[in-house]
Chain A
Amino acid sequence: MIASVSKMATRVRCSVVATAMAAALLGGCAVNDTGASEPWDPIETPNRFIFAVNRAVDTIAIRPVAVLYRDWVPEPAQKSVRNLLDNLGEPVTAINEVFQGDPSRAGVTLARFVVNSTIGLAGLFDVAAMMGMPRTKTDAGQTIGMWAGKGVEPENGGFYLVLPLAGPSNARDATGLMVDYAIDPFQILPVAFNWDFWYYSLPRFGLNVIDYRSRTMFALDDLEKNSVDYYAALRSAYTQNRAELIRAKRDKTDTKSELERRDNLALVK
């Protein structure tokens, strides 16, 4: 009850600030009945331009390759490529899990990395999952969103931003992307030991793009086909999806749910 009242109070305060800012920038602010306001997009014109360029590049070069990859590469091979890429991403996830206040989860991620890199043949096979260590994935954008403070709704990630090639993002997640890049051992090592760009960095990047595009194909096609303004629909969907991930992180550290968890444990004993 108290929580909901204080939440209401924050929401009111937020919407006052948001309205003031939006009034200055956009001339209006629609706060809907779910409490989520429209994503803040002060640089919509340049964003739409980059979005159009991205779409052109996607239609000509990326999507066709991703379709071929999805339909012609055998399923087990696709799975192994995904495992390999995921394994290279585990250290970043582990570091972020430490900063999200979940060192035990970080330990599991690290154990997964060790097991899969060795027994799993450099990450081609997800042996750790079979051993009862399921994969988790997180990034610095979520870490920032998690600690952004109670007053900041997870939907509020700063201004919306369309990145060249990478697509939808916002101030929070773009910062997270840079942080992840800076702390990734598999981005630092190639520079430190002068690994061949053509044999490591480029294939990793390329495979990541194709793998990611083939996995998002259905959802993006669905969104594009069923929207009248694809840019706005994707902006909304991206914001909501990121908010959901951050909300799940916050709920885990929420005092009430922590107490409930302990109660449940006590009941089990």
Chain B
Amino acid sequence: MPLLAGRRLAFRLAAGTAVALLAEPAFAASPAADLVSATVAEGFSIMKSPNSPQRQAAIKQILMTRFDLPFMAQTALGKYWDGATAEQRQRFVKATEESEAKTYNERFGQYSGLELKVVKTTDRPNGVEVVDTRIIQQNGSQPLKLEWEVRKTNQGLRITDVKVEGVSMVVTRRSDFNSYIQQNGGKVDALIEALEAKAKGP
């Protein structure tokens, strides 16, 4: 029990630091920017524990609560979404969630401990807010440019896309998925199976 209590305390301390970090920057005034910094702080604090199924579950939890994954999945499937059955859509969204959780586990790990700076938040006419951030790299090389698309949904603000140095995750996924479907005779099932196999794999 003392061990557990200690862990709980450590977690509280970590959460406290995260909140303190969030409260500090005066320029991160917009809710969208706050959402982004909170997500990144949460991701980094999870990264402090060793890699385990629990950690991956925690990352998945972040994705489910901070990102609009069904929307991202729908955009990534592009024109094939309309032709897909309800059952296909459901399986596809689930498979994407699994594979994204894996991806983010690694990405947060790579950048863990680095500093994220919010540069500015821009409102787009279509209701999307773009939060422009930089990750300051340790070895003195150019800071990494990360842009986050934040949208209002029924559950509140959600992240719908991340652009790294101009490369949008969702657009890249769509290119990838569409090409795979085309290579496999225009069948969405082929893609879903490939994604499910990927989620199960190492």
Contact = CB atoms under 8 A, between A and B. Distances in A.
A233 B176 contact: yes
A30 interface: yes
Interface string A36-54: 1011000000000000000
Contacts of B133: none
A218 B106 CA distance: 10
B175 A232 contact: yes
Of residues B102, B174, B194, which shows the largest number of chain A Cβ atoms within 10 Å of its Cβ? B174
Nearest to A231: B179
Interface string B147-189: 0000000000000000001111001111111111001000000
Contact of B177 (A228, A235, A237, A243): A228
Nearest to A227: B176
A235 B198 CA distance: 21
A222 B175 contact: no
A243 B166 contact: yes
Interface in B56-103: 75, 78-79, 99, 102-103
A226 B79 CA distance: 21
A34 B103 contact: no
Interface residues of A, number: 30
A244 B172 CA distance: 14
A241 interface: yes
Nearest to A126: B140
Interface string B124-145: 0100000000000001100000
Interface residues of B, number: 31
Contact of A244 (B110, B139, B165): B165
A47 B78 CA distance: 24
Contacts of B178: 30, 38, 232
DSSP class of B's interface residues: helix, strand, loop or mixed?
A: helix
A264 interface: no
Given A30-B79, A222-B107, A236 B195 contact: no
B36 to A, nearest CB: 19
Contact of A33 (B75, B106, B166, B183): B75
Given A30-B79, A218-B110, A222-B103, A232 B176 contact: yes
Contacts of B174: 32, 236
A243 B79 CA distance: 23
A263 interface: no
B191 interface: yes
B179 A229 contact: yes
Contacts of B106: 222, 225
A58 to B, nearest CB: 19
Interface string B103-128: 10011001000000000000001000
17 contacts: A4-B125, A32-B78, A33-B75, A36-B171, A75-B139, A79-B140, A228-B191, A228-B198, A233-B173, A233-B175, A236-B172, A236-B174, A236-B175, A237-B172, A240-B167, A243-B166, A244-B165
Q: Which 9 A-B pairs have the closest CB atoms?
A: A244-B166, A232-B179, A236-B175, A233-B176, A229-B180, A228-B180, A229-B179, A227-B176, A240-B167
Interface of A: 4, 30, 32-34, 36, 38-39, 75, 79, 218, 222-223, 225-229, 231-233, 235-237, 240-241, 243-245, 247
Given A231-B179, A247-B166, 6 more contacts: A30-B78, A32-B174, A38-B178, A218-B110, A226-B102, A241-B165
